[in-house]
Amino acid sequence: MSCFARKELSKILHSIFTDYLPQIFAAGFKYTITLAIISFILGLIIALVTALVRISDKGGGFLIIKAIFRFYVWLFRSTPLLVQLFIVYFGLPYLKIPGLLPNGIKLAPFTAGIITFSLNTGAYASETIRAAIQSVPREQWEAAASIGMNRGKTLRRIILPQALKVSIPPLSNSFIGLVKDTSLAASITIVEMFEVSQQIAAENYQPLIMYSLVALVYALFCSVLSWLQGWLEKASSRHSKESEAEA
Amino acid sequence: MKITKVNKTFGNHQVLKNISLDFPAGKTTVLVGPSGSGKSTILRSLDLLERPESGNFDLDELHIDFSQKIKDADILTVRKKTGMVFQSYNLFPHFTVLQNVTEGPVQVLGKKKADAEAEAKQLLAKVGLADKADFYPETLSGGQAQRVAIARSLAMHPEYILLDEPTSALDPELEMEVLKVLLELAKEKQSLVIVTHNLAFARRVADKIVFVENGEILYDGDAGKFFAQDNDNQRIQDFLNSMSLASLD
């Protein structure tokens, strides 16, 4: 290797550790992780409400509410996330209703991101939670009923704890997916870590290095989540551990 | 507790045909009969886990007309006064044995946790499982699980305990553990309603026998007479013979 090439390489390595990675991590903590965590928490709340509405056996006027939630899940599962982001950020300002919304709905990029990611995650996770609730045997409902528990208490104390345990792996999938999907936020002007790596690549003409670096950081974040999933699964199966110890 | 003129259909199959029965307090009533005869449906109706289309239910001052919508408060009253023990135990797997027993008293009766735990420990001792309080249901044998289920039911101080084939899922050895507990309860004048296929046990524990077939009651009365060899009801004699009671004597 020529002296020049070696010098060039060490310069790049130096920049990677003192400049590029710090910038990517800073954007990662400021936007990628905050977007993902806030959206996931809001998404879980939306998902739980949606799942409970959809499994409810209430009739009458409640059927309309059920239909609205069913429509919401259908809408967000049937359209691309990128398109949803564009509609919320670029489209809603043009939703002008005279008298009611004369100026449309103008959202800050971060707010638009949170709203879209939460609703998108909520739609998918609601199906996970609904299936998990329905996977708890009917007999658990009966056993709770026979000691006088009402439906709400049975859900809270007996059914949901068992259902949430079942849904840890699929919900972890959703969370990991969400972390990676936040890269789409670059398209609505949020300077998250993918956007940062694009900007650096435009300056230093090193797209391979920059995009590989950001890929590595995504992988790192997701690996932490996978580890967290394993820990959660273990913690939630306390009641099977003792049987292993006995066996 | 009694039911009068109760009818129940599943699809177009009528499982209960105008049934009237009373369940004397302080006594043990045993429902026997072939599989699919409707005896479990009768039992589950007593805890309102099944809702007959018509008929009446009376428990102390409470009156329920099955053809009307049942008020939530009435459902709660019935569920407090009756306790159900299921064939498949149906313990709460995410709770310890102790929590299984205290859940009802704390969450439904509003008892203090410490009081509920103290009583739960007594009840667990009573069913011979004092040392299992901190175990999870998954670690228990079937016989132990069913005894926890009985303790869970007892913790609510129900007037009646309803048992739906409580030992059908158990080996004979484990079955004995459960039957001993039930005999003890019967001796203490706890009102019991038991659906069982174990005629030897029925004979031992029952004050009153109800024989159900095809959704109808063929016998409703004294247990001694039911098992007497000179019972003149041919159908009952056939049933008893088919269960080869002779071999148990």
Per residue in A20-42, pLDDT (tens digit) is 999 999 999 999 999 999 999 99
Interface pTM, i.e. ipTM? 0.92
Give the number of A-B residue pairs with CB atoms closer than 8 Å: 72
Rounded to the nearest angstrom, the minimum Cα separation between A58 and chain B is: 14
B208-213/B28-32 β-pairing = parallel
- Parse chain B into domains and list their residue ranges: 2-92+158-248
d(CA A170, CA A50): 17
Res A243: pLDDT:
43
pLDDT 10s digits, A145-181: 999 999 999 999 999 999 999 999 999 999 999 999 9
d(CA A45, CA A38): 11
Inter-chain touch B80–A148, beta carbons under 8 Å: yes
CB within 8 Å of A98: residues ≥ 6 apart? none
Model confidence at A58, pLDDT cuts 50, 70, 90, reads confident
Res A141: pLDDT:
97
Inter-chain touch B153–A158, beta carbons under 8 Å: no
Res A242: pLDDT:
46
Inter-chain touch A242–B139, beta carbons under 8 Å: yes
| Better-scored residue on pLDDT, B170 or B237 | B170
Rounded to the nearest angstrom, the minimum Cα separation between A121 and chain B is: 27
Q: Considering only CA atoms, which of B91, B4, B86, B80 is closest in space to residue B43?
A: B86
Q: Please state the rounded mean pLDDT for residues A100-121.
A: 95
Instruction: Calculate helix-pair angle for B113-126, B142-154, nearest 10 degrees.
Output: 130
N- to C-terminal Cα distance for chain A?
62
- The answer, yes or no, to whether residue B118 has pLDDT greater than 90, is yes
CA gyration radius for chain A? 23
Q: Please state the rounded mean pLDDT for residues A2-12.
A: 85
Inter-chain touch B137–A239, beta carbons under 8 Å: yes
Q: Tell me how crowded residue B142 is: count the other CB atoms within 10 A of its CB.
A: 17
Model confidence at B229, pLDDT cuts 50, 70, 90, reads low
Fold observed for domain B2-92+158-248? Rossmann fold (3.40.50)
Inter-chain touch A147–B103, beta carbons under 8 Å: yes
Mean pLDDT of chain A, nearest integer: 93
Rounded to the nearest angstrom, the minimum Cα separation between B84 and chain A is: 6
- CB of B80 within 8 Å of a chain A CB? The answer is yes
CATH number of A19-237: 1.10.3720.10
Res B230: pLDDT:
67
Model confidence at A59, pLDDT cuts 50, 70, 90, reads confident
d(CA A123, CA B21): 51
Res A241: pLDDT:
47
Contact B91, A236 (CB under 8 A): no
- Parse chain A into domains and list their residue ranges: 19-237
In 3-state terms, what secondary structure has residue B38?
coil
- The answer, yes or no, to whether residue B65 has pLDDT greater than 70, is yes
Model confidence at A218, pLDDT cuts 50, 70, 90, reads very high
Quick one: how far is CA A220 from the chain centroid? 17
- The answer, yes or no, to whether residue B243 has pLDDT greater than 80, is no
CB within 8 Å of B103: residues ≥ 6 apart? A147, A157, B92, B95, B152
Q: Percentage of residues in chain B with pLDDT exceeding 70?
A: 96
